[in-house]
């Protein structure tokens, strides 16, 4: 039985009068929405289909003309992070951290979800693969990849288009390991198209390393969830059933196992900051809980990772009068899954 989960809806203001307001509330942890005309608000529609797994989200969607923004305010309240690779069927103008984006219909585009972006869609008609950050090869997280556009006529884009269509068709019926392999294949092709060098081992090596990463990551996340820190590398290797050397090789693509653990500690500490109500718990308490040497050390690492200080993190925005726990349109579940792909809360 496949472990992936699929969300699907097709709504409009004809059948759901507050569809636009629900859309704004549900997508708030992903994007701020702007530049929707009054006519498009009255005739709003959103069609979405997304399959969710620990490897990320594979989906497609259609909607009205709009601008999607991840600015400083959104980034500080959002817990969604990763790489978004997408193809939109209509033109798009935007800005990615100061880089002008002018994409023609069908172009392949890259967005680092931890960095500012503004995307003005003529209309939304998009295929997208959004992969959690810790799974993405480091070469695809380079600053020059954010906002990169590969033109439609590129042979590599035609290949990515075909692969994404095939994966969208099959994703719901694939098991977790099959879906992970398919997403990793997409990432390797995307890295090649983007001009990055990525070493590819044999299938047996790739499968072994994937299994090691999954077992090690499960152990690491469990220890962080329980605030049982620090984490011993030998214990991580034991959890993966391998030697330290094999563990290190399995995490080469993530910058090393120590970097992976640090990144996950920062991620969980940031989630704790988002859950705060007022000044409690303090930043110093959170720093201690997640195993950092001191509040100053935590703040330095946090600013390096996210570009702002722990004190600037804000919680999710409340949506007065709208309950997202029912109804057909559930971007909030998509956001929750991307925040923690292991749990899939709400499904």
185: CATH:
2.60.120.10
Does residue 291 sit within a domain?
yes
Identify whether residues 119 and 225 lie together within a single domain: no
Identify whether residues 26 and 160 lie together within a single domain: yes
pLDDT for 342 equals 59
Identify whether residues 177 and 77 lie together within a single domain: yes
For residue 10, the enclosing domain spans: 5-200+330-339
Does residue 347 sit within a domain?
no
Q: How many residues does the chain have?
A: 347
The CB-based long-range contact list for 204-207 (8 Å cut-off, 24+ gap) reads 206/181, 207/181
pLDDT for 177 equals 81
Q: Is the dihedral of CA 72, 73, 76, 80 positive or negative?
A: negative
Does residue 37 sit within a domain?
yes
Identify whether residues 157 and 245 lie together within a single domain: no
Q: Determine how many CB atoms are found less than 10 A away from the CB of residue 59.
A: 22
pLDDT for 340 equals 66
Q: What is the DSSP letter of 280?
A: B
Q: Which of 149, 136, 155, 131 is nearest to 52 (CA)?
A: 131
Q: Determine how many CB atoms are found less than 10 A away from the CB of residue 16.
A: 19
Does residue 325 sit within a domain?
no
Q: Which of 210, 208, 207, 232 is nearest to 219 (CA)?
A: 232
Question: Residue 279: which residues within 8 A CB-CB, separation 6 or more?
Answer: none
pLDDT for 204 equals 44
Read off the CATH number of the domain in which 232 is found. Answer: 1.10.10.60
pLDDT for 199 equals 53
pLDDT for 26 equals 86
Q: Are 61 and 126 within 8 A, CB to CB? A: yes
Identify whether residues 145 and 249 lie together within a single domain: no
Question: Average pLDDT by consecutive 10-residue portion of the chain (347 residues)?
Answer: 72 93 90 97 95 88 97 89 95 96 97 96 96 86 94 89 90 86 86 71 55 82 93 89 84 85 94 88 96 96 94 75 58 66 50
Does residue 319 sit within a domain?
no
Identify whether residues 41 and 181 lie together within a single domain: yes
């Amino acid at each position: 039985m496949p472990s992936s989960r699929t969300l699907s809806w097709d709504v409009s203001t004809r059948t759901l009068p507050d569809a636009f307001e629900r859309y704004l509330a549900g997508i708030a942890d992903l994007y701020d929405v702007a530049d929707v005309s009054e006519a498009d608000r009255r005739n709003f529609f959103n069609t979405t289909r997304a399959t969710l797994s620990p490897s990320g989200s594979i989906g497609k969607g259609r909607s009205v003309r709009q601008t999607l923004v991840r600015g400083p305010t959104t980034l500080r309240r959002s817990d969604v992070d990763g790489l978004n690779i997408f193809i939109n069927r209509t033109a798009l103008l935007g800005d990615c951290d100061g880089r002008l984006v002018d994409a023609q219909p069908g172009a392949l585009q890259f967005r680092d979800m931890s960095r500012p972006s503004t995307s003005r869609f003529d209309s939304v008609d998009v295929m997208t693969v959004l992969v959690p950050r810790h799974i993405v090869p480091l070469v695809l997280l380079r600053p020059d990849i954010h906002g990169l556009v590969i033109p439609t006529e590129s042979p590599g884009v035609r290949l990515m288009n075909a692969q994404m269509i095939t994966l969208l068709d099959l994703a719901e019926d694939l098991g977790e390991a099959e879906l992970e392999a398919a997403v990793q294949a997409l990432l390797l092709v995307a890295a090649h198209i983007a001009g990055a060098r990525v070493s590819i081992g044999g299938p047996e090596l790739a499968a072994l390393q994937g299994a090691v990463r999954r077992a090690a990551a499960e152990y690491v996340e469990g220890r962080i969830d329980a605030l049982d820190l620090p984490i011993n590398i030998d214990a991580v290797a034991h959890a993966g059933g391998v030697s330290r050397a094999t563990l290190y090789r399995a995490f080469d693509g993530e910058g090393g196992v120590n970097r992976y653990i640090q990144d996950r500690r920062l991620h969980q500490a940031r989630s704790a900051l988002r859950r705060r109500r007022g000044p409690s718990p303090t930043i110093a308490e959170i720093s201690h809980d997640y195993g950092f040497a001191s509040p100053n050390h935590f703040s330095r690492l946090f600013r390096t990772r996210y570009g702002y200080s722990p004190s600037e993190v804000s919680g999710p925005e409340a949506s007065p009068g709208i309950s997202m726990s029912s109804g057909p349109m559930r971007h909030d579940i998509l956001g929750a899954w991307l925040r923690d792909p292991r749990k899939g809360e709400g499904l």
